[in-house]
Structure 1
Amino acid sequence: MTSRELPLGEPVEPCDRLDRPQRAAQQGQFVTLEPLIPERDLQQLFECSNGDLERDQLWTYLPYGPFPDIAAMGAWLREIAPLADPLFFTVLDRKADRPVGMVSFLAIAPEMRSLELGHIWYAPGAQRTSINTEAIYLMLCESFDRLQYRRVEWKCDALNERSRTAALRLGFQFEGLFRQHRIVKGRNRDTAWFSMLDLEWPVIKQYMETWLYRAEPGAISLRAFNSE
């Protein structure tokens, strides 16, 4: 009797180190990602994200928020600040010198060299600016360049059209839909999954740096670059 050889995946070179994202500031031209410190960040994070319909809608697709008062948001920030996964950062607008949102690394799997970017939100005035692009650029540099991870994920509510558009614009590839994946605030959530791989990063990095630092504002489309 002869046996048919079964297909196998490509061999993966071992990595000498299995590091995790650092709880350390990452500075760009437009933003600094500062490790979350509730005592320092609470007042301005609350003011930019709560208090009227536009700001309250920031929390629509997240499992927390909006917060009825600053004490409630403070309790939440104090709960999440010590965590290593998710590892939360405050996004500081360098020009305004004030917090305008939050991001995190999560689902961190050093042995698989994979992680996710998530818990991302920005104040209305910071949306559709260079802030999100550079914040994600800094996180991708940490993930692929320093940590040498193989895969970075982006997940969102399938109904969150803004997040889905952002993922594609930034160079992530749509992988599929996890149906009835979660229950969030008493409602069904289908989850859209996206990813970026280490072999894709060098070209995406070049596009992002051109858009952020070399092109005239509005002269080129990052989405057009990443859809080529």
Structure 2
Amino acid sequence: MAFAAPVTLQGRGVRLEPLALAHEAGLAAAAADGALWRIRVTSVPEPQDTRAYIETALAMREAGNRLAFAVLDDASGRVLGSTSYHDILPAVRRVEIGYTWYAQSVQRTHVNTAAKLLMMGHAFDQLQCHVVGWRTDNFNFASQRAIERLGAKKDGVIRGHALRRDGTIRDTVMYSMRAGEWPEARAQLHYLLERHAPA
């Protein structure tokens, strides 16, 4: 059985389902909410590329190095975006969390915090990971702030690391959290979600 086997994670009004071709229309609609593919520092698929995006994620799951999720509103079933475990290293019990994007209408709501709480909890508590990592574009300042709010520590910057969609070469900012840091981070995430909770 795979170290990070497909699983559905649910709580705080969101549901993370293993990404499947059945999510294609919902994922395309989520990306269209804000025309997210136009953002230079993200990897959101253009509407006509949504199926290929899912097929790539499924091939990576088969290879054992990525487990992609569709993020849904638990009540309505509406697809809100996508996120993944990736760069999965069973031998050292490490995963990274990334490929994360959400419809513009749910950005800066409880959705990302709730999804990350589910994923970090599963990684540390069920998979017994020693480390969870994140990486982001050096110009994606919103992503860097969001990762730091989770309690992750900045490891450093890998210069000239990857191609952006516009053909320029990006530096990658690396973050991580160790298992011993998880209890404090979890308490803070619960606190943030309580503050976001509707009255």
Fold equivalence (TM over 0.5): yes
SS at match of 1:73: helix
In structure 1, C-alpha distance between the alignment counterparts of 2:15 and 2:54, rounded to whole Å: 19
User: Percent identity of the aligned residues?
Assistant: 31
Q: Which moved more, 1:77-86 or 1:113-122?
A: 77-86
Q: Is 1:169 aligned to residue 149 of structure 2?
A: yes
CA RMSD of aligned residues (A): 2.1
Deviation at 1:81, TM superposition (A): 2.3
Contact 1:45 1:99 in 2 (8 A): yes
SS at match of 1:192: strand
Contact 1:114 1:149 in 2 (8 A): yes
Q: Is 1:200 aligned to residue 155 of structure 2?
A: no
Letter in 2 for 1:155: R
**58 and 106 in structure 1: CA distance in 2 versus 1, 3 angstrom threshold:** farther
From 8, 13, 16, give the equivalent of 1:33.
Answer: 16
**183 and 83 in structure 1: CA distance in 2 versus 1, 3 angstrom threshold:** closer
TM-score (norm 1): 0.78
From 168, 172, 179, give the equivalent of 1:191.
Answer: 172
Unaligned runs of at least 5 residues, structure 2: none
Unaligned runs of at least 5 residues, structure 1: 1-17, 219-228
Where in structure 1 do 4 or more consecutive aligned residues deviate above 6 Å?
none
From 129, 136, 139, give the equivalent of 2:109.
Answer: 129
Deviation at 1:57, TM superposition (A): 4.6
In structure 1, C-alpha distance between the alignment counterparts of 2:107 and 2:45, rounded to whole Å: 18
TM-score (norm 2): 0.89
From 45, 57, 72, give the equivalent of 2:27.
Answer: 45
SS at match of 2:6: coil
SS at match of 1:111: helix
Deviation at 1:63, TM superposition (A): 4.3
Q: Which moved more, 1:78-87 or 1:104-113?
A: 78-87
Q: What's 1:65 paired with?
A: 45
